[in-house]
Amino acid sequence: MWATKGRDGLARKHKGEKIMAWETTEWACGHTGTIQLYGPQRQRDSRIASEAGRKCFACWLVEKWEQEGDPRATRPDRYRLAAAIAENKNIRIFNLPEDAAARKKVEKKLADPLDTTATMR
């Protein structure tokens, strides 16, 4: 895959180059996110339509962990962990459930009137 710049400074695509795009989708579980897809627009549209009919990768992975009795299923940061794994597969998932332990820690800091470092993200 390669490209050159013309005299006008714009990149030129060459035959055989893969076309890549980040596409936004909403999964059946209600989460939204973006997926990095390659190929012609028709193939990307087909993948987005199929993704919309299933759970996001993070929900699917947490459910799989629960079914297999994996200890990661009981971690309070299981959705954050699953989202990190999805990120390595070029899937970004937004609005996942917040980690219970991290949320309590922030609320405790906000409740302390002498703590000047407390912020709400």
pLDDT given at position 54? 92
The reported pTM is: 0.64
For the cut 50, the answer to whether the pLDDT of residue 4 exceeds it is no
Taking every pair of C-alpha atoms in the chain, what is the biggest distance, in angstroms? 63
pLDDT in tens, 41-78: 888 889 889 988 899 999 999 999 999 999 999 998 89
Identify the bridge partners of residue 5 per DSSP, sorted by sequence position: 11
First to last CA, the chain: 40
Residue 40 is predicted with a pLDDT of 85
Q: What is the mean pLDDT of the chain?
A: 77
* Over residues 95-115, mean pLDDT: 57
pLDDT band, very low/low/confident/very high, at 15 (cuts 50, 70, 90)? low
Residue ranges per structural domain of the chain: 15-111
Residue range 16-38: average pLDDT? 84
* SS (HEC) of 41-55: HHHHHHHHHHHHCCC
Q: What is the DSSP letter of 77?
A: T
